[in-house]
Every structure is written in structure tokens, then in C-alpha cells.
Structure 1
Amino acid sequence: MDVEQFDTPRYLSVLPLFSDLSQQERERLALSCQLRRLARGDMVFRVGEECDAFYVVVVGQVKLYVASPTGQEKVIELVGPGQSFAEAMMFLSMPCILNAQALAETLLLRVTKQAVFGEIERDPRFSMHMLAGISRRLHGLVRDVEGYALHSGMQRLIGYLLRDLQDEDTLKSGVITVSLPVSKATIASRLSLTPEYFSRVLHELEAENLIEIDKREIRILDVQRLASYGSH
């Protein structure tokens, strides 16, 4: 993507967070936004750094994670195109409590705290959109905790494979292919599973003729059987 020709106001118009702004407001906000290109493995920010902006992923993927003193990682969230992150830390004026790292070539839109506060002062309705975004993330984290506490590792993995399927998909008899967006180890961390357990469950599902594994392509052979298998 050509950064110099990137139409920031137009991009803002398709994001739910900014879609209700007028064209003039989006153009004013765009003046305070910066595009940031990262290579795979580049850090967006680290724990302890000042958080004076939030980010929207335009292209690519970002991993939000914490790390133990021994270097062990726990992936908190995987953020893809059109999704934002770091809003809560920006509002609290607190140092970053997470690390953020690009998992592929990534283009980010950086929206400064000063610009956000300026828009809130001009139109308090803007704060409602910000709150909605933060609330969605909180709801997702609560669902994660519920999953860790009440669901087995098998159920969490199957739930991940079926996460984007619509109701009509469950009625199909054909094969449905799910592409893993990142490495199996990263997804395992996101689901609070060890990589070894993650691979073992995948191969168990393959042995039961529920899925076929082709590197990062997972072909679901029977959606209904797979969904019910997780409840055993």
C-alpha cells in the first residue's frame, strides 16, 4: 500500500468509531493521525512506555501480550485489519501494561490522545463511540475468562475453529476451510494452551475424521459433528 496516497479521511469514514463524524471533522482528525509501517517482529510499544495514542490496524496483524521474567509469553489478543487497540491505556494516562508486536508486515494508523480529546470537547457524542469500543474489548476479555474457567482445552480449540461460522454454515454438508492467521503456537497462547496440547488436540480431531490439517489450513469435514464433539 502506498502510504503517500493513503486517504486517511476516507479510511476513517468506514470505521465504526469515526463513521458518525462529519467530513470536516474526519479531515480535521486525519491531520493529527500518523501512518506507521512495521515489518514482521517490530514492536509497536513495550510495557512501561508512555501511551499517548491508540492504534487502528489498516493492514497486517498485531499481537498484544505479556511476558514473564523468564520470557514466557501469554497472548492477550490478536488484532487484525479494522480493529483498534490501546484506547483504555491512553484514556487512563498510564504506562503501557502490554507489549504490542507486529506478526506480519503491518500498517497502523496512530490516533493521538490530543486529537481524541479535542474531538470529545467539540462533540461529546464521540466519547460514546470510544466507550463502545472499550466495552467490546472488555466483553471479549470476560468471555475469555469464562472460557478458561468453564471450558476444557478441547472446547476452547473447537470454539476457535468455529468462531466465524454463521448459523447457515452449520447446515452445509460440504467442507469448510479455516485459515489460521498466525502460528499454531501463538493461537495456543491466545487460548491458554501449551503448543504441545494444541497440536495433540488437532491431531485427535484429524484422527476422528472431523478435520484435515494442511499447514495453516484446517478443513472442517463436518461442522455439526465437530461442534458436538467439543461437548463430550
Structure 2
Amino acid sequence: MSTVDNNLLVGGSPMKSALRKHHLFSSLPEHDLEQLVQMCRLVRLDNEAPLFHQGAEAQQFYLVLSGTIKLFRVSPDGLTKVIEVIRQGEAFAEALMFLQQKAYPLNAEAMGKAEVIAIPSQRYKEMILATPECALGVMGNMAMKLHRRINEIEILTLQNTRHRLANYLFGLLPDPAATTGAIELPMAKQLIASQLAMQPETFSRLIKEMKQQGLISVKGGHIDVHDVQGLREFGH
């Protein structure tokens, strides 16, 4: 279930504050930002509530105010492929405003309760064309995402499944320099397997191997890492 709140105050609103902190909007003149906020919508989502579907007209892009959003595709045989997980403070779908065919290429839904700001793409595009600093912010944001995609392609093509899973868990550690640590998985294990391009059975088998080697212990979505260095070496 999703609800939309169009009655947001401009002055001091959490939405305005969130926009101002993000580099896509930090260079907007105050008047333009207030005008943009008046045109934005706050969308509240329950767990697994859809935000948009693949192929829908992309008239808005989004900033996550709270919670987490999953971007995914569904294969012809019904399997869900997670493309990206968007967290609080991150924007997504902004690049579509520069494409001729403005349709969402993915599905988006909430993972748990979430709030997102829906930003009108055309109005924002008009504003950044008049504010070169904002245009540079957009270019920087897309460059970061391109760099991230290149890294993900490298991981998926050059690393084996053991290495991918070990690196993923290592990246979730709050202090990678520590010898031990604790991890809270950000989503269901089958979705993590999908994001890492492996079968759920492979994911479960590798987790079992890690447990047998004394590297980790698992309770639901909580993982205690007993040997951080051993975890890093697991894939090798």
C-alpha cells in the first residue's frame, strides 16, 4: 500500500532539508528550491508496496527520505533479479530525464516501510539548465553510478561465487579493519543471491561452508563474523 502527501510545508520541512543536503539540489537558488518543493510529493510505502513498474511513463525521479527501495526486473520464468538497493539519502531514476524514451526500465518497490520524495523531472531539468552548478551535480551523480556499475560488472564477470559472497559480506561490516564484527543483512537471502547472480541453493551452500570453517555464525538475518581476514580469503 502507498499513500501520497501533497500538503507539505516548504519552510523547514523534512523534505526541503533532505533535498538541500543532496548534491543534486544543493546548488539550487533558495527561490528555485522552494518552488521545486511545492511541486514535489511525499510517497509513503508499506513493505513490498510498488513505487512504479517497468515500462511506466517516467515523469518523476526520486530521493529516499527513509527506508529502502529495491530496483528489480522479473524474468520470463518469474524469477526476480535485483539490480540495485537504494537507501536513505540516495536518488534514483534521475538520468531518465535526458532520454528520448522516458519509461522506467525497472520495477521499484519498498523493502519494509519507506518514504520517498517524488520530484518532477521536467521542472527540475528546466532549473538545472539555468544553473550550471546543478548541471555539474547531475553529471557527477551519474558518473558515480556509472563507476559503480562498472565495478559490479567486474565483480560479476571476473569473480567466482565464493569471492562475490565473501566480498559482499565484507562490505557490510561496520569496521572492516576489526578482526571480528556483526552484520545485519539488508534484505532476504534469496534477493541477495539474485543481486550476486547466484542461485539461492549456491548461496545457502556457501554460507554453510563459512559456518563449518568457523568464519561466521548465523541467526536469521544477523551474522556474527568471527574471522574477518578468513572471510576475505574465503573466495580465494
Do the two structures share a fold, i.e. TM-score over 0.5? yes
2:71 matched to which residue of 1?
A: 64
Q: Quote the residue 1:204 is aligned against.
A: 209
Q: In 2, distance between residues paired with 1:33 and 1:45?
A: 16
Choose the corresponding residue for 2:83, options 73, 76, 80: 76
Given the alignment of the two structures, is residue 18 of structure 1 paired with residue 25 of structure 2, yes or no?
yes
Contact 1:54/1:85 (8 A) holds in 2: yes
Q: In structure 2, what residue type is equivalent to 1:163? A: G
Match for residue 114 of structure 1 among 108, 114, 122: 122
> Could you tell which deviates more after superposition, 157-166 or 214-223?
157-166
Q: SS where residue 171 of structure 2 aligns?
A: coil
In the alignment, the residues of structure 2 paired with residue 56 and residue 107 of structure 1 have an alpha-carbon distance, to the nearest angstrom, of: 9
Question: 2:109 aligned with 1:125, yes or no?
Answer: no
Matches within 5 A, 1:95-106: 95-106=103-114
CA–CA distance in 1 between the matches of 2:14 and 2:169?
A: 35
Q: Distance in 2 between matches of 1:135 and 1:105?
A: 29
TM-superposed CA distance for 1:192, in Å, is 0.5
Q: Does 1:217 align with 2:225?
A: no
* Aligned 8 A contact 1:40 1:104 in 2: yes
Q: CA deviation at 1:226?
A: 1.2
Shift of 1:72: 1.4
> Does 2:181 align with 1:176?
yes
Tell me by how many angstroms 1:219 deviates.
Answer: 0.9
Residue equivalent to 2:158: 150
2:124 matched to 1:86? no
Once residues 84 and 144 of structure 1 are traced to their aligned partners in structure 2, the CA distance between those partners, rounded to angstroms, is 19
* Aligned-pair identity (%): 32
Aligned letter for 2:132?
A: P
Deviation at 1:176, TM superposition (A): 0.5
Q: 3-state DSSP class of the match of 2:55?
A: coil
Give the whole-Å Cα distance in 1 for the aligned partners of 2:100 and 2:33.
Answer: 24
- The two structures have a TM-score, normalised by structure 1, of 0.90
Q: Is the 8 A contact 2:129 2:135 kept in 1?
A: no
User: Structure 1 counterpart of 2:91, which letter?
Assistant: S
Q: Alpha carbon RMSD of aligned pairs, Å?
A: 1.8
Deviation at 1:164, TM superposition (A): 4.3
* Structure 2: 5+ residue stretches without partners: none
Which residue of structure 2 lines up, in the alignment, with residue 159 of structure 1?
167
Question: Residue 73 of structure 1: CA displacement?
Answer: 1.6
Deviation of 1:60 after TM superposition, in Å, equals 1.3
How far did 1:188 drift? Answer: 0.7
Normalised by the length of structure 2, the TM-score is 0.89
Aligned amino acid, residue 41 of structure 2: Q
1:165, CA displacement in angstroms? 4.4
Q: Describe the superposition over 1:101-126 as per-residue Cα deviations: whole angstroms up to 9, x where unpaired.
A: 11211101011112211211321221
Q: Which runs of 4+ in 1 moved over 6 A?
A: none
